[in-house]
Amino acid sequence: MNLDDFSDLIERPDGGVRHDAEERRERLSVPPGALGRLDELGEWLSAAQQSVPVRAVERPRVVLFAGDHGVAELGVSGRAAGSAYELVRAALDGASPVAVLARRFSVPLRIVDAGLDCDPQLLPESVVRHRVRRGSGRIDVEDSLSAEEAERAVRLGMAIADEEADSGTDLVVLGDLSVGGTTAAATLVAALCGTDASVVTGRGGAGIDDLAWMRKCAAIRDALRRARPVLGDQVELLATSGGADLAAITGFLLQSAVRRMPVILDGVVSAACALVAQRAAFRAPDWWLAGQVSGEPAQTKALDRMALTPLLDHGVTVGEGSGALLALPLVQAAAALAAELPERAPKTADGPQDAEEAAAAEPAAPGPADTPAKAVDGL
C-alpha cells in the first residue's frame, strides 16, 4: 500500500461554489464581517457540499477509534496500561463526557476497536469485530505494528469512512479512546516536523505529574530514533511509531476526503494522524476543521503545519472527541445562518431602495369607489 496514491484521488472543495457562496454572503441582510468566523464556516461548508445556499448539517456522527499502546507500560499516562476498554465501556454506558454531549446534541456515537488490549467478550461484538490486533507494541523499543497489520488498520479506517459516507453522514466528529495514544501521536508530530521530544511532550488527557512527563519525554525521544529513518513511507511510519488506532484514523481521514465528507478533528491524536495524511495528500486538510485547542504542544505544532485554526479554546483536555463535539453546534449555526438569512432588497436607479420604500411604493388596493359597477343581468 502506498498512501501517496491518495494525492491523485483527493480534490479540494469546489472553489467556484465557494466564490458563489461568498457573493451570496455579500447580499445578505447582515453586513459582511458581522458574523465573524461563522461566515467563513458557512462558505467552507458550501464548497464541501457543492451547494449554494449551504444545506443544514442534519446527519452528523461521532466516530471514535479505540486502542491501547504498549508504551503506556512505562508510566507515561495518567491511566493504567491496557485500560482503554474502560473508556469504551463508559462511553457505551453513557457515562463519559463525549457520551453525555452526544446524547445532549442528539448525535449518534460509533466506537471502533482497532487495537484494544482486552478480552473481546468485555465489549459488544459491534465494537470489537474490526480489531486489527490486541494492543500495539512499545514504540520506544519495537514496532507498534507489523507491516501487514499497519495496512489492515489503514484499510479499516478507509472502510469505516466509506460506510459512513454511504449511510448519509454529512459531517464526522472524529476522536480516539486510547491509553498511551498521545505519546505515539507526539512521536509522529515530532518526526514529521523535525523537532525534539521536549517540544512536543504534553501531559495527556488524563494529566500526569512531572516525573511521568519526564518518562514520557524520554519515551518519545527513543521512539523518534526509530521513526526518523522511515519518514519516506507513511505506512511504515505508522507501523513503526503509530498504532492500530492511529493507522485507522489516518485511513479514515484520507478516505473521508476522497468521499468529500467533512471532518472535525479533536485533539492531538487526530491532529497527528491528519499530519501523516497531509504528507500523503496535500489537499486533504481542506476537508477538515480543528475543533478545539487541547493544550497539547504536539497538537499546536501539527495544526500550525496544516494551517488549521481551532474553532474553540475552552481548556477541554479530556479528549475522547468531546472538544470537537462542542464545536459541532457552531458549525451547524454557521450553516443555518448562511442558508436562512434573507438577502437585501436589490437597489435600482429609479425604484425603491429598501423593503419599507418598496412597501410605500406599492399601488394601493382599489377601494369601493375605484371598482367599476358590475352590470346587472338583463339590463
Reported confidence tier of residue 368, pLDDT bands at 50, 70, 90: very low
Q: Domain limits of the chain?
A: 60-328
pLDDT at 371: 42
Does the pLDDT value for residue 378 go beyond 60?
no
Does the pLDDT value for residue 164 go beyond 90?
yes
Reported confidence tier of residue 349, pLDDT bands at 50, 70, 90: low
DSSP class of 60: E
Reported confidence tier of residue 348, pLDDT bands at 50, 70, 90: low
**Residue whose cell numbers read 454557521:** 334
Beta strands in 143-244 (DSSP E): 171-179
pLDDT digits (tens, 9 = 90+) for 57-80: 999 999 999 999 999 999 999 899
pLDDT at 282: 96
DSSP class of 366: P
Q: Of 164, 320, 356, 357, which residue is the catalytic one? A: 320
List all residues 6 or more positions away from 39 whose beta carbon is below 8 Å from its beta carbon. Answer: 25, 32, 33, 334, 338
Min mean pLDDT across 27-41, 61-75, 339-353 is at 339-353
Min mean pLDDT across 116-125, 129-138, 358-367 is at 358-367
Reported confidence tier of residue 149, pLDDT bands at 50, 70, 90: very high
pLDDT, average across residues 172-184: 96
Look at phi and psi of residue 320 and say left if phi exceeds 0, alpha if psi is from -120 to 50, else beta. Answer: left
DSSP run (H or E) holding 215: helix 210-227
Please provide the CATH number assigned to the domain covering 60-328: 3.40.50.10210
Reported confidence tier of residue 318, pLDDT bands at 50, 70, 90: confident
Phi and psi at 172, nearest 5°, equal -115, 135
Whether 86 is a known active-site residue: answer no
pLDDT digits (tens, 9 = 90+) for 182-206: 999 999 999 999 999 999 999 876 6
Q: Dmax over Cα atoms in the chain, in whole Å?
A: 110
Reported confidence tier of residue 377, pLDDT bands at 50, 70, 90: very low
Does the pLDDT value for residue 16 go beyond 70?
yes
The upper half-sphere exposure of residue 240, i.e. CA atoms within 13 Å in the direction of its Cβ, equals 20
d(CA 186, CA 190) in angstroms, rounded, equals 6
pLDDT at 114: 98
